[in-house]
Structure 1
Amino acid sequence: MVQTKKQRTEILKKDSEIKRVNVKAETLKEKKTKFYKMYLSERQKNKQMMKRRKSDDIKVENMKAKLTSIESTEEQIKDLKSKLQDAETNEGYLQNLLDDSKPLKLYDKDSNSYTTDAVQCVMNLTNLKVPSEKVGEGIREVLILGNKTPNAVPSATTVNRITDTKLAVAHKQIDKVVGTKKEHNPLHRRDQEIRESNSDLHRN
């Protein structure tokens, strides 16, 4: 069968159309493959993101739990501080009670003598004309006003001995002052020189 020119043209036209369709089909196939790969990649990314999100959610929950634990610990610390402060207050109160109940140390057993403060108190009372036999009881009665008890009070004999010691010290100080003044007095020096001169004459 002999093909006419028109038929050949139609056949060539159809072949060309088939080729274009095939090219488009290949292009679409490639795009489909590319998009599918992109889809798989995005899907994988989404899975990873979901995992990270889940991990982040777990971290957030852990942080919340830690924060709650910290807040609870802070409350416990605050409560412990309050209890410690109360305990210190009670300890101070008990210590004050113990201190108040302790006898006031006026007499030192180790040195077998009254303390300096006690001796000074005795001197002050005798200066106020308190009788020696009343000094000890006077000290005791005054301390009772302050809820204190002395470990000992001086007897009348001890008060007299303290007074005598005070007078002896005072006399020594007076003699020392008077002696110093005599040594610096010209008349005293002249009198001393005359006595020494007379003594030398008698020896000769």
Structure 2
Amino acid sequence: MKPIPRRASTSLQPAFLVAPVVKPVDAADGLAEQSIWLPKGSWLEQATGKRFTGPMSVERPYAIDQVPVFVRPGAIVPEQPAMLHTGQKPVDPLVLEVYPLEDKQRSSYELYEDSGVSEDYARNVGTARTGITAQQAGDTLTVAKAPVKGSYAGMVGRRALELRLPADWPPASVSVNGTPLKQLPTRPARSAGASMATA
């Protein structure tokens, strides 16, 4: 198996590998046969939740409108509600997607935020950073959000946190600081088997 040229796939941070379909589709079935080289380590196919161990080549047909995305187990991905432009409304809730971890695996992410309208970030002022960790121990997943360090103009004082677990089974229970939460019904998501809760 031969790796695809580097220009046909893009690594976004160390957690994602994106491989847009770059070959013509077959006239009969409308699919393009794509070969995607996965570097060493564990990977999850975002659309299906299927696990792969690289280095290896994944070969399969894709529709021209599909974008193959592979994610490292334990990736923590912050998101925000849909907006027409940056700053249209506060980022509330803060959405955290946490991809399934291996047993005893720990992952971390530092969320960076600023006002989006000034150049204070260049002087490292007017910024906020929040540490986020996820740890798997048997059947228990613990996600922790550290206190925010720093501040910026227009920063939200308090906000809800929405936790999404794409490509994973819905949790049996969810609690915050020992207090059980009500789980929201699963709603359609980009990833197979996504479940979520809010705090």
TM-score (norm: length of structure 2):
0.19
Specify which structure has the higher proportion of helix.
1
Specify which structure has the higher proportion of strand.
2
Greater RCO, CA 8 A, separation 6+? 2
